[in-house]
């Protein structure tokens, strides 16, 4: 057996077995029942039967918006999405700690709870330019030995309604963003063709993927699901495009959602979802059965069980109580968790991905 630096003993794997895990040079060198007994010198840490899992994945976050590390702030926005967007732009630039520091605070919280792979959307707008991206990339660099972070250049305020944002999105990818984002092409921009053509062109030009926020309900949202799939097929971007939220898929007829699921599966368009409170949830089991890659995230964290954005909106993290939604559950394979991180974005190959507890895997 390879000489090891240390053993974790009495580790319970997901299949129920109790094993010893040997570590050498930061990698797993041995896994087996009683493996530590063959070594007389390596130090041991008794895990006492606790469950040992690979790093968990959070597929949808907003590290630039977190208030983690700050005192409580009350709700400041009105009831509409545009009010929350504008309130973010009013509050975030004047917080007493930087984007990089706040993002780092949340990264540490995630890692402490077992999450080691994150996809974060980062606001790109005319007011702040690339400043928030620079902050998040700084936090990613600081914690690169602990966590894999993918960044999505996210035009939260819109694209076509804000001339100049397409140029900023292009610059964001050139300066380190891993994917191009979008948001509600009809509801926010009133120009779905303009927005989708613009962001897909950037992705194709730079060889990266896309992750598009789609809050739009019913037939409006379904139209844009179809438009996203059409462009994904046309540009050969299958496996590199994600729809975030996709609430519309929970508010249309069963026949139409089945057709949409088949279209997404054929195009290679994934869906990321979360516990959305009173909003309509996509039919997760139907989508997965149709072959759609479905993964999950917690959206806009603040701390301990609530998702809080700068505008003060809070959502209970019901995702943890819906086993069929969570890629961390035993019903979702390691490949399903890692898939979007493996395939989307030219830089997605960097870092560590969800993997089995096996020899040569990083410890």
First to last CA, the chain: 17
Residue 310: which pLDDT band, with cuts at 50, 70 and 90?
very low
Rounded to an integer, what distance in angstroms lies between the CA atom of residue 93 and that of residue 125? 12
Predicted TM-score (pTM) of the model is 0.83
Mean pLDDT of 328-335: 33
Helix (H, G, I), strand (E, B) or coil at 244: strand
Phi/psi zone of residue 37: left (φ > 0), alpha (ψ -120 to 50 degrees), beta? Answer: alpha
- Classify residue 280 by burial, with Cβ atoms within 10 Å: 0-12, 13-18, 19+: middle
DSSP summary character for residue 324: G
Distance CA 310, CA 96 (A): 13
- CB atoms under 10 Å from CB of 317, counted, come to 15
**Confidence label for 228 from pLDDT (cuts 50, 70 and 90):** very high
Alpha carbons within 13 A on the beta-carbon side of 246? 30
CB 154 within 8 A of CB 345: no
In 195-283, the DSSP E strands lie at 209-214, 241-245, 269-273
pLDDT, tens digit (0-9, with 9 covering 90-100), for 73-126: 888 888 888 998 999 999 999 999 999 999 999 999 999 999 999 999 999 999
Return the closest-CA partner of residue 76 out of 312, 325, 327.
312
Please say whether the beta carbons of 280 and 217 come within 8 A: yes
Q: Which pLDDT score is estimated for 349?
A: 33
Categorize the per-residue pLDDT at 302 as very low, low, confident or very high, splitting at 50, 70 and 90.
low
Distance CA 253, CA 228 (A): 20
Rounded Cα gap, residues 182 and 292, in angstroms: 20
């Amino acid at each position: 057996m390879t000489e090891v630096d240390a053993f974790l003993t009495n580790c319970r794997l997901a299949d129920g077995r109790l094993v010893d895990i040997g570590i050498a040079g930061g990698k797993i060198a041995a896994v087996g029942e009683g493996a530590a007994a063959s070594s007389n010198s390596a130090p041991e840490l008794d895990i006492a039967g606790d469950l040992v899992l690979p790093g968990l994945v959070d597929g949808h976050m907003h590290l630039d918006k977190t208030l983690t590390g700050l005192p409580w702030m009350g709700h400041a926005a009105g009831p509409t999405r545009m009010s929350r967007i504008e309130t973010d732009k009013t509050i975030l630039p004047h917080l007493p700690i930087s984007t990089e520091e706040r993002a780092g605070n949340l990264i540490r919280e995630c890692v402490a709870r077992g999450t080691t792979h994150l996809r974060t959307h980062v606001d790109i707008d005319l007011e702040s330019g690339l400043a928030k991206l620079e902050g998040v990339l700084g936090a990613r660099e600081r914690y690169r030995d602990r966590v894999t972070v993918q960044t999505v250049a996210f035009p939260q305020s819109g694209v076509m309604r804000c001339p100049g944002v397409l140029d900023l999105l292009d610059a964001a990818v050139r300066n380190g963003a891993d994917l191009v984002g979008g948001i509600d092409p009809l509801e926010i921009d009133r120009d779905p063709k303009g927005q989708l053509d613009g962001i897909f062109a950037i992705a194709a030009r730079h060889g990266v993927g896309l992750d598009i926020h789609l809050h739009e309900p019913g037939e409006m949202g379904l139209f844009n699901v179809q438009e996203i799939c059409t462009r994904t097929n046309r540009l050969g971007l299958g496996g590199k495009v994600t729809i975030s939220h996709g609430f519309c898929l929970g508010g249309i007829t069963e026949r139409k959602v089945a057709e949409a699921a088949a279209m997404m599966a054929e195009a290679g368009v994934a869906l990321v979802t979360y516990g959305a409170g009173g909003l309509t949830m996509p039919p997760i089991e139907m989508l997965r059965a149709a072959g759609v890659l479905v993964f999950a995230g917690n959206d806009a964290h603040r701390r301990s069980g609530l998702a809080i954005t700068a505008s003060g909106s809070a959502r209970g993290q019901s995702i943890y109580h819906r086993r069929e939604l969570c890629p961390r559950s035993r019903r979702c394979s390691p490949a399903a968790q890692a898939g979007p991180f493996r395939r989307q974005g030219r830089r997605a190959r960097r870092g560590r991905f969800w993997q089995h507890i096996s020899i040569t895997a990083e410890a």
